């Protein structure tokens, strides 16, 4: 079965600190997709990134970066120079071929990030 | 930026009543989904829908639930005879193809059953 583990329940940092959110996944599929979503206090799910299993290149988007390592089944997310507006719950998610052609996303339990001024 | 639109944003209903949650997926998307998030918990898959039929459903999606695409734009989730434990945020999502390109969630409907 597919599984996503976000071991960090809550992280508190002070503004401008760097923070890394961990995501470890389990799947027997050779082709799969990994996602990160942000859920601010208003409740919506904001898409951050989608990465397929064949692309292990790290990605950077502004203050956000992602480290995908198949060898350790991890897809970690780093926010550089955190800001108060980054305060939210962050979810890692996985979809694989066995789930009717990738249609179902399996989410982790989320990491609540609190950034204080 | 194309959006998935959900209405209403918040619905309060009496236990035992039927509710219909509405979604307008992104217009060129072919796959549609409903997810549920009980307060403070993770997001859980309910059902996926393609070509006017359910393609997969979770164990949560029992006979109390049904989905429908009544016209070319709307996608609805009906919950019959609501229970207190149905209180949750319900998210609609859509994607363009089988590789989950453009997998986009709506802003959710918060359902409160009293």
Name the pLDDT band for B1 (thresholds 50, 70, 90): confident
- Residues from chain B contacting residue A109 (CB–CB below 8 Å): 41-42
Give tens-digit pLDDT for A12-40: 999 999 999 999 999 998 889 999 999 99
Q: How far is B3 from chain A (nearest CA, A)?
A: 11
Residue A54 to residue A14: CA distance in whole angstroms: 35
A93–chain B Cβ distance below 8 A for any pair? yes
Residue B51 to residue A75: CA distance in whole angstroms: 33
Contact A45 B33 (CB under 8 A): no
What is the sign of the dihedral through the CA atoms of B89, B93, B5 and B14? negative
Give tens-digit pLDDT for B7-19: 999 999 999 999 9
Give tens-digit pLDDT for B31-78: 999 999 999 899 999 999 998 999 999 999 999 999 999 887 899 999
Residue B15 to residue A31: CA distance in whole angstroms: 43
């Amino acid at each position: 079965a597919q599984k996503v583990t976000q071991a960090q329940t809550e992280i508190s940092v002070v503004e401008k600190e760097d923070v890394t959110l961990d995501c470890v996944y389990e799947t027997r599929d050779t082709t799969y997709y990994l996602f990160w979503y942000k859920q601010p206090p208003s409740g919506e799910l904001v898409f951050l990134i989608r990465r397929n299993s064949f692309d292990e290149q790290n990605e950077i988007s502004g203050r956000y970066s992602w480290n995908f390592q198949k060898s350790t089944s991890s897809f970690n997310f780093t926010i550089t120079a955190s800001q108060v507006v980054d305060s939210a719950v962050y979810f890692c998610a996985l979809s694989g071929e066995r789930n009717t052609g990738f249609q179902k996303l399996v989410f982790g339990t989320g990491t609540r990030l609190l950034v204080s001024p | 930026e194309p959006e998935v639109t959900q209405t209403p944003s918040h619905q309060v209903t009496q236990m035992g009543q039927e509710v219909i949650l509405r979604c307008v997926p992104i217009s060129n998307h072919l796959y549609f989904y409903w997810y549920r998030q009980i307060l403070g918990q993770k997001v859980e898959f309910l059902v996926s829908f393609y070509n006017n039929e359910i393609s997969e459903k979770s164990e949560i999606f029992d006979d109390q639930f049904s989905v429908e695409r009544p016209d070319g734009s709307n996608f609805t989730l009906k919950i019959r005879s609501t229970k207190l434990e149905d209180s949750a945020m319900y998210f609609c999502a859509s994607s363009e193809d089988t590789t989950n390109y453009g997998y986009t969630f709506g802003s959710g409907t918060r359902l409160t059953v009293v």
